[in-house]
């Protein structure tokens, strides 16, 4: 059996639920989460050589999930009317999750999602403006979103306890 097939099977078995959960946090939608996981799998396993270890595979998949989530097109946004974040674009939702679920600062989000820092700042600012204009009282501040968060980064996936 090829090494990449074994790695993919082991990753799916051992980390599949967590990867899907992380993608759901980033996207807010089950079908979008599945699409993001599929895109991440293709990105990670279409390389010349598969990740050497399961830790490497998990780290690569987590990065690929973030990369795919911030690049979804607006038409892919959740349509659930009960989702309080449905007013956000896919990029806004993903960077907001990285900022407030993971607690990362703008430079870390930019590096981990493969975005420029000004793009992350724009997405966070827009997300907070949209949420402030919604019916929910979020009490988020642009100042905190742009200047708060941790610049330290451990190789974790979205929502992991630190």
| Strand partners of residue 104 | 150
| Residue 40 near residue 68 (C-beta atoms within 8 A) | yes
Q: What share of the chain is helix, strand, coil (3-state, %, to 5)?
A: 60, 0, 35
Give every CB contact of residue 128 below 8 A, 6+ residues apart in sequence.
138, 140, 141, 142, 145
Q: Which fold has domain 3-147?
A: Butyryl-CoA Dehydrogenase, subunit A; domain 3 (1.20.140)
pLDDT in the model for residue 134:
72
In order along its 162 residues, the chain shows pLDDT tens digits of 577 778 788 888 988 899 999 999 999 888 889 999 999 999 998 877 778 888 888 889 999 999 999 998 776 555 666 777 888 899 999 999 999 988 999 999 999 999 999 999 999 999 999 888 776 657 787 888 888 877 765 544 455 543
pLDDT in the model for residue 83:
77
pLDDT in the model for residue 24:
92
pLDDT in the model for residue 121:
96
> Which helix H or strand E contains 50, and what residues bound it?
none
């Amino acid at each position: 059996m090829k090494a990449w097939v074994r790695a993919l099977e082991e990753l799916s078995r051992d980390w599949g639920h967590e990867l899907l959960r992380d993608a759901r946090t980033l996207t807010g939608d089950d079908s979008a989460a599945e699409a993001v996981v599929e895109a991440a799998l293709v990105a990670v396993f279409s390389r010349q050589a598969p990740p050497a270890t399961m830790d490497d595979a998990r780290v690569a998949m987590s990065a690929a999930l973030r990369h795919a989530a911030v690049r979804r097109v607006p038409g892919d946004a959740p349509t659930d009317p009960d989702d309080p974040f449905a007013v956000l674009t896919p990029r806004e939702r993903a960077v907001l999750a990285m900022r407030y679920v993971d607690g990362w600062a703008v430079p870390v989000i930019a590096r981990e999602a493969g975005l420029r820092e000004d793009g992350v700042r724009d997405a966070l600012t827009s997300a907070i403006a949209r949420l402030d204009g919604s019916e929910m009282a979020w009490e988020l501040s642009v100042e905190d979103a742009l200047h708060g968060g941790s610049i330290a980064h451990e190789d974790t996936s979205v929502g992991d306890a630190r």
